Amino acid sequence: MSDEQIHGAERLAITSRSIGGVTVLALSGEIDYDSAGRFADALVAVQGPGPQRIVVDFAGVTFMDSTGITALVSAYRALQGADGWIRIAAVSEAVLRVIQIAGVDTIIACHPSVDGALEA
């Protein structure tokens, strides 16, 4: 494993749990060039046969750049093609601003909490 992979792994923690058939990915740390691959891999790992539903909990994310946006949009497209969906929850103001500038909030629903995203 290269130093970049170790460094990226240390900067982003991802946990997964299932709530009522919806996979909730809880993120903590930074999503950037070094860690976006782990984020993208986690999103792809959830996808499988049949419609998949994912809520991404951004409560612990302190920074995200365009590589995180790319991972979200790729997952959105894959899930939409398979009659699934992805929702974003609990985003900080700084990360929400990046999402809004990129226009991701116009295609992926953003909710103030995980509970709100699950109930929508």
pLDDT on residue 41: 94
CA–CA dist 78, 93 (Å, integer) = 27
Residue 23 CB coordination number (10 Å): 20
Are 28 and 60 in contact, with CB atoms under 8 Å apart? Answer: yes
pLDDT of the chain, 120 residues: tens digit per residue: 333 333 445 689 999 999 999 999 999 999 999 999 999 999 999 877 777 999 999 999 999 999 999 999 999 999 988 889 999 999 999 999 999 999 999 999 999 999 999 999
Q: Which helix (H) or strand (E) holds 69?
A: helix 66-81
Angle between helices 66-81 and 93-102 (to 10 degrees): 60
Residue 101 confidence (pLDDT): 96
* Residue in 63, 116, 53, 62 with CA at minimum distance from that of residue 89: 116
